[in-house]
Amino acid sequence: MGEERMMKAGRIVQNAYVVRDLDAACAQWHRMTGIGPFVGGVEVVLDQHHYRGRPADPIRLRGVFVQSGGLNIELIQLLSDGPCAFRDMFPGDAEGMHHSAMFCDDYAAERDRWSAAGYPVVSEFTTGFGVSICYIDTRPLFGHFLELYPEDPIIRGMYRQTVEEAEGWEGKQLIVPWR
């Protein structure tokens, strides 16, 4: 199956960046682009992590979503040191664009389609609300990873909240919590 068919299965909804200091990055992104507020900011543990098909330590991070027009942007501060897709792209303290994300109607089929096309799953884990998500190594194709989400009401709700917060934002609180 060709790369053109794979992209028709979903659409890119997010670009995500690994940052060294989440609070400083939020302030800088706001100062330079005017976007805000940033939603989230608390520590998250991604359990049942499999790194390159083998059980691995959970991933600990802090992250936020922010809306920029029709595009969601995620900033991620990695708190754990174990092997994972984030460390594959940015070892040590390096930072930059890590992945684009897309929803899939059939998560397992879409994950397997990318893998069969030669783009391996590097990290797959379960969120705190029980949903599996993965990062696929699409660096040879895109220059960064691809994150796949299943269609899920909680994840869709996170995207919806980010849009709503941006529409009503008065500029007072730079980082707001998830509802």
Predicted TM-score (pTM) of this structure: 0.93
Q: What is the pLDDT of residue 1?
A: 38
Residue 129 belongs to some domain of the structure: yes
Residue 18 belongs to some domain of the structure: yes
Print pLDDT tens along the chain (179 aa): 343 343 344 699 999 999 999 999 999 999 999 999 999 999 999 999 999 999 999 999 999 999 999 999 999 999 999 999 999 999 988 999 999 999 999 999 999 999 999 999 999 999 989 999 999 999 999 999 999 999 999 999 999 999 999 999 999 999 999 99
CATH code (residue 84): 3.10.180.10
Q: Are the beta carbons of 147 and 16 closer than 8 angstroms?
A: yes
3-state helix, strand, coil in the chain (%, to 5): 30, 40, 30
Contacts of 113 (CB under 8 A, 6+ apart): 1, 6, 9
Q: Omega into 37 within 30° of 0, i.e. cis?
A: yes
Q: Which residues span the domain enclosing 93? A: 3-167
d(CA 83, CA 91): 9
Residue 174 belongs to some domain of the structure: no
Give how many domains the chain has, as a whole number.
1
3 state SS of 32: helix
Q: What is the pLDDT of residue 92?
A: 87
